[in-house]
Amino acid sequence: MNVLVVDDEPIIRQGLRELVDWEYHGFTYAGDAEDGLEAYELLDALAIDIVITDLIMPRMDGLALIRKLKDNPRPISAVVLSCMDDFTYVKEAMKLGAKDYLLKPTMEPESLIDILLGVKTELQNQRSERRDQELRELELASTLQMQLAHRLQLYLQTGLGEAELQEELFGAAESASASRTHLTAGGLVSLLLHTGTSAAAAGWRWTGCVAALPLAAESVLLLMPAAATDAAAALERAAQVRLADAPDWFIGAGVVIRRLQDVQPAAALHAQQLHERFYGGSRNRRIVLAPEAASLVTTALPYDIRSDLLRCIVHDNSEGYLHHADAMCARLLEQRPEKGKVLPFIQELLALAAGYARERGCAEIERYEELFVHNQALSHCVSFEQVTELVRQALSMLMANTGAVISGDQPPRSNNTFIRKVLTFMQENYALPISTSDMADHVRLSRSYLSDLYSKEMGESLSETLTRIRMEEAKKRLRTGEMKVYEVADAVGFPDAKTFAKTFKRVVGCSPKEFEKPI
């Protein structure tokens, strides 16, 4: 503990400094002063715990100094130094709170240490009791805060408890000015704190807050007394310390709430702030939106483009992967659906892509799933820009590791003689207008028997296999850029370019023109 010696006689100050082995007994001789005024200025600067003070000094005497110690927010104990004829002053000092006294003429080091050790124990107990009391008060305030937050959430969800909450927070409508509590006089102000990490708000005590309501993942809606001086700035200063390792936190400035019915619009405004933060490029620490901006538009997710993208994976159209990924993300950015719908939509896409890529022989499918499916990488994306980049990374990995399974020159996958013969027939004659009857005639089986046999053996119909073979060949020809679309259609057995384009779009996921020039 830090000790300060106050005496107008230099020899007394020097003697006390050298008389005692301070460190050995658990004390620090922090400094000395020649009067009470100088000592008072050193209390906080030196974090003084115990003052040993003379009583009769110029400018500010010991009694005045002891009175001032009582006003210090930190408990500081005093021990008095006196002469034989100062007993009246000593009695007054003890009434003011001095813990003990020493007579200068008979002062011994052992006596001083005994007194200081007793004062130290008493001071430690006093501080411990104060900490316990403050903790109890904080816990009580936190409990009341949580109870009020629960009731507010119940009201927002069901409308229950409106009259009681209105009275408690704002006073009765007919006598509001007379019945409002000191906490809510002048209303409340709403603030949004988005922590950027679920663990960051754990254990945070919302001091001075009337209620703290979970608004969304990693976000808290705080209701503060409107009379609080710049509550947003105070919260920002606290967040800079508490959330130093959470780079994506921000505060949403809200509105003044003067009645219970204003809470729901305030929550909607803060939800819009989260929405704007997700889609916007700004990483400002504080977001301000006008109240009229609090409206989220419900839009349909682009399932059609996602289906096209998945067909590209099924049919090894690597050129179409990023084309449709970019088109899908552009649609999402344009229509800006809720983040709570976008992330599951993209997560499902990445999982479906993994399943189709596995069927297509992706060499790094386990690594892909580890990076983009199992560890829920999307949950760490705080902006739509990061979501877009993650999608591109995932699909680029699939593009680099997926190979075609069925192509015109691949050997048949079945040991059945009839199946092998019909597959070879399709691979050699895909450019002709062949039918399932032609295939059955070639292997000398009935059409119905061959169709059933083939479906059971190969897991797809004869016409589906023929279409896939034709599409693989069409993709090869389109990649060269040497043939017109109608020429490719004719070369792979389609009667006209329109039918070919429609089939190509359905199977591959994009039009022949888009395949030729992927975005």
**CA 211, chain centre distance (Å):** 20
State whether 43 and 109 are in the same domain.
Answer: yes
| Dihedral angle computed from the Cα positions of residues 193, 195, 196 and 201, in that order, rounded to the nearest 10 degrees | -140
Burial of 405 (0-12, 13-18, 19+ CB in 10 A): middle
Per-residue pLDDT 10s for the chain (519 aa) are 899 999 988 888 888 888 888 888 889 999 999 999 999 999 988 999 999 998 888 889 989 999 999 888 888 999 988 876 677 788 888 888 888 888 877 778 888 888 899 999 988 888 888 887 766 655 655 577 677 888 888 888 888 888 888 888 887 544 433 333 444 556 888 888 888 765 555 556 666 778 888 877 788 888 888 776 677 888 888 888 778 777 788 888 888 888 888 888 888 888 888 888 888 867 778 777 766 555 555 678 999 888 888 887 877 666 677 778 888 999 999 889 988 899 999 999 999 988 888 877 777 888 888 889 887 788 878 889 989 999 988 988 888 776 544 344 444 456 788 888 999 999 999 999 999 999 999 999 899 999 988 888 877 789 988 998 998 899 888 888 889 999 999 999 999 999 999 999 888 878 888 887 654
Q: Rounded to an integer, what distance in angstroms lies between the CA atom of residue 62 and that of residue 82?
A: 10
State whether 259 and 322 are in the same domain.
Answer: no
Last residue of a domain, one of 372, 401, 430: 401
Answer yes or no: is 237 within a domain. Answer: yes
Answer yes or no: is 406 within a domain. Answer: no
State whether 19 and 112 are in the same domain.
Answer: yes
DSSP H/E element including 80: strand 77-82
Answer yes or no: is 135 within a domain. Answer: no
Q: Rounded to an integer, what distance in angstroms lies between the CA atom of residue 202 and that of residue 221?
A: 15
Give DSSP secondary structure letters for 286-332: EEE--GGG--PPP----HHHHHHHHHHHHTT-HHHHHHHHHHHHHHH
State whether 256 and 313 are in the same domain.
Answer: no
- Find the CATH number of the domain harbouring 19: 3.40.50.2300
State whether 13 and 63 are in the same domain.
Answer: yes
Strands 2-6 and 50-54 turn out to be parallel
Answer yes or no: is 146 within a domain. Answer: no
State whether 189 and 119 are in the same domain.
Answer: no
Answer yes or no: is 203 within a domain. Answer: yes
State whether 241 and 316 are in the same domain.
Answer: no
Answer yes or no: is 153 within a domain. Answer: no
Residue 181: other Cβ atoms inside 10 A: 12
Kindly calculate the radius of gyration of the chain based on its CA atoms and give it in whole angstroms: 40
Last residue of a domain, one of 370, 401, 432: 401
Range of the domain at 366: 303-401
Strands 50-54 and 77-82 turn out to be parallel
Provide the sign of the torsion angle of the four alpha carbons 66, 95, 117, 16, taken in this order.
positive
Lookup: tokens for 290: 């006008």
Residue 249: other Cβ atoms inside 10 A: 23
| Domain total of the chain | 4
State whether 288 and 359 are in the same domain.
Answer: no
State whether 255 and 319 are in the same domain.
Answer: no
Burial of 103 (0-12, 13-18, 19+ CB in 10 A): middle
State whether 427 and 379 are in the same domain.
Answer: no
Answer yes or no: is 150 within a domain. Answer: no
- Find the CATH number of the domain harbouring 429: 1.10.10.60
SS3 of 180-234: the string is CCCCCCCCEEEEEEECCCCCCCCCCCCCCCCEEEEEECCEEEEEEECCCCCHHHH
- Find the CATH number of the domain harbouring 168: 3.30.70
Q: Rounded to an integer, what distance in angstroms lies between the CA atom of residue 475 and that of residue 482?
A: 12
Q: Helices H, strands E: what count in the chain? A: 21, 10
Map residue 257 onto helix, strand or coil.
Answer: strand
State whether 80 and 196 are in the same domain.
Answer: no
Last residue of a domain, one of 266, 293, 320: 293
Which pTM value belongs to this model?
A: 0.53
Answer yes or no: is 157 within a domain. Answer: no
State whether 308 and 289 are in the same domain.
Answer: no
